[in-house]
Structure 1
């Protein structure tokens, strides 16, 4: 069996002490950046693997971080996870990914499972709008040794940090853009407004209408799930109206895609007869043949990195008090063929 490389082997090769190598591998700021880089490069060349169990026993940390998302089969959440991993992996952390499939019982089960394996922190996007009423969740909140960071979907809980996007602004800008295209009867495909993100997109939509002298019509708001089939269902309801809308702002790219499919199959043209705007900037929105989809970019990679940075600050804080951070990223409207009547291919 091949002998495993130790810190003593690295030290001997570089002419350093084992203590210096150990500190460098643990990113100790007392060791110069050049030395840390040299040690890390040499460790990689020599196939050195840190003993995580020994490290955990010494530091009191597991170097595992839990990430809970409603689903991972979307570009948004997979990009957030990528951002988290890119930020944490160089610091020696491993990420345990859990998905809840938007089921409340699974969400609580995942929280308890992560606490049982003694993760150093939990970063999560909630599936349960009433989460703070659950005993398991309250156990997590009381556990001051395990930082909790919300991203995207959050609850406003004292002492819990969050990283979100300005959903109100995103909804406002999307609706304002449709108005600028000459649309006046604008429908909104909402999602469960018990969640703050979807309610804020709805409120942004309403405010843009009000600011532009357009009366809000409740019949033009249809609650949908974030999937293609529900987008088609909602579009069918709107098309069957005596006076169909001339535009749709959807809180989801997937529902927007379904709406576009239904509108086209019904013989209408996009954007000439009806404009459509989605939300999230999923990859398919820019690769659609003939009709690329206007959408709101939430910058999920940045969201993941910021959430990880907040965790690192909190886990590194040795004081009893910590500063709660509520970071709000600025969204960007990306105009494409589905909403621009002056679009040039």
Structure 2
């Protein structure tokens, strides 16, 4: 009794062929007005609702975009998804949102699920455990438009593959330069998995900013850690136990959760922030304004990233003349939002570093 009415059910009730019913519902010119009226009345009576997935399977492509993110917690990915959903809805697309939970195997399975659902295109930010990219190559070979955002696969090229990323190098360079301007001379960097392009670029921006200002890159002040509060706390705890001349007086963390963990540990160990230790993160999560003191961070243009990814994917879909735009990378410029966690009392105050 609860089974969804189908076109076949309508056809049996009306004594028509399923193809006639389908054309009538689509307002096809070959079906008479009287038949269209009968079909619509029966559809209303039987509470018929079209199945967009089934229609997509018949056409070989649905009107749905698949979106795969590492997680939907925090601020960054929900904001990017908001940008994606807003832009997709305005363009007449539905959105299927999935998360990999930073698990490479789950990511692979989800991509397969999306392909089986005949999605019109896929937007993905890769899991931090992904090092085999064969499943993305299969998407490319199938001709389904694929757009990476935030976390892209370096060196992955080919038709119908594009990316919308942030200039992570520039953001890291600017925030490190900001710490230097505050008087910091031993700046630590807490980073994560080295195979992730975003983290490599942030680390390089940090290193180049130090070099540009004549400061040494001390190996003891560069640490890989879990990208969460516990990881940041543990990594900074080790550094703050160095002898005073080796301790950092500033720290740039590759994300805000790591920075919050470091901030909490510094205060637990009796260090004043920012007087003894200036701290900055990356992402401009919503909680950065709620920490004590509020956390300096790099804004990632979340909603703009999501909107731009959809716009780029739409250009990769066949137009009325079956033509497609060539894929290309789009790099957004970050902003450094300066707050109290990195401001020394005798240094100049600025609300924002870097141009739009």
Answer yes or no: same fold by TM over 0.5: yes
What corresponds to 2:113 in structure 1? 113
Selected match of 1:147 from 145, 156, 161: 145
**Aligned equivalents of 2:301, 2:72: Cα separation in 1:** 16
Deviations along 1:108-144, one digit per CA (max 9) or x if unpaired, are 1111111111111110001144232x3x332112111
TM-score, L = length of structure 1? 0.81
**Aligned equivalents of 2:122, 2:289: Cα separation in 1:** 33
**How large is the Cα RMSD of the aligned pairs?**
2.4
Shift of 1:93: 1.4
**Aligned equivalents of 1:324, 1:188: Cα separation in 2:** 34
What corresponds to 1:12 in structure 2? none
**Aligned equivalents of 1:172, 1:182: Cα separation in 2:** 16
Structure 1 residue runs of 5 or longer lacking an equivalent are: 1-20, 23-48
What corresponds to 1:309 in structure 2? 311
What corresponds to 2:276 in structure 1? 273
The correspondence of residues 323-342 of structure 1 with structure 2, limited to 5 A, is: 323-342=326-345
The correspondence of residues 203-218 of structure 1 with structure 2, limited to 5 A, is: 203-218=204-219
What corresponds to 1:86 in structure 2? 86
Deviations along 1:203-236, one digit per CA (max 9) or x if unpaired, are 0000000000001111111112221111110111
CA gap 1:53/1:334 in 2 versus in 1, 3 angstroms: closer
Larger Rg, first or second structure (1 or 2): 2
**1:287 lines up with 2:296 in the alignment:** no
Greater Cα shift, 123-132 or 195-204 = 123-132
What corresponds to 2:185 in structure 1? 184
What corresponds to 2:72 in structure 1? 72
Aligned length: 297
CA gap 1:54/1:245 in 2 versus in 1, 3 angstroms: closer
Greater Cα shift, 238-247 or 274-283 = 238-247
TM-score, L = length of structure 2? 0.78
Shift of 1:91: 2.2
Give the conservation status (yes or no) of the 8 Å contact 2:231–2:258: yes
Deviations along 1:259-314, one digit per CA (max 9) or x if unpaired, are 000000111100000000000000000122x3000000001100000001111111
What corresponds to 2:252 in structure 1? 249
What corresponds to 1:198 in structure 2? 199
Shift of 1:90: 2.3
Give the conservation status (yes or no) of the 8 Å contact 2:53–2:117: no
CA gap 1:87/1:330 in 2 versus in 1, 3 angstroms: same
SS in structure 2 at match of 1:285: helix
**Aligned equivalents of 2:53, 2:333: Cα separation in 1:** 41
Give the conservation status (yes or no) of the 8 Å contact 1:292–1:336: yes
CA gap 1:50/1:316 in 2 versus in 1, 3 angstroms: farther
Deviations along 1:150-199, one digit per CA (max 9) or x if unpaired, are 00000132231000000000110010000000000000001112111000
**Aligned equivalents of 2:337, 2:309: Cα separation in 1:** 24
**Aligned equivalents of 2:100, 2:53: Cα separation in 1:** 29
Give the conservation status (yes or no) of the 8 Å contact 1:190–1:198: yes
CA gap 1:323/1:269 in 2 versus in 1, 3 angstroms: same
CA gap 1:321/1:307 in 2 versus in 1, 3 angstroms: closer
Structure 2 residue runs of 5 or longer lacking an equivalent are: 1-25, 28-48, 351-356
Give the conservation status (yes or no) of the 8 Å contact 1:154–1:162: yes
Selected match of 1:264 from 262, 267, 272: 267
**Aligned equivalents of 1:61, 1:114: Cα separation in 2:** 11
**Aligned equivalents of 2:163, 2:232: Cα separation in 1:** 29
SS in structure 2 at match of 1:338: helix
Give the conservation status (yes or no) of the 8 Å contact 2:103–2:130: no
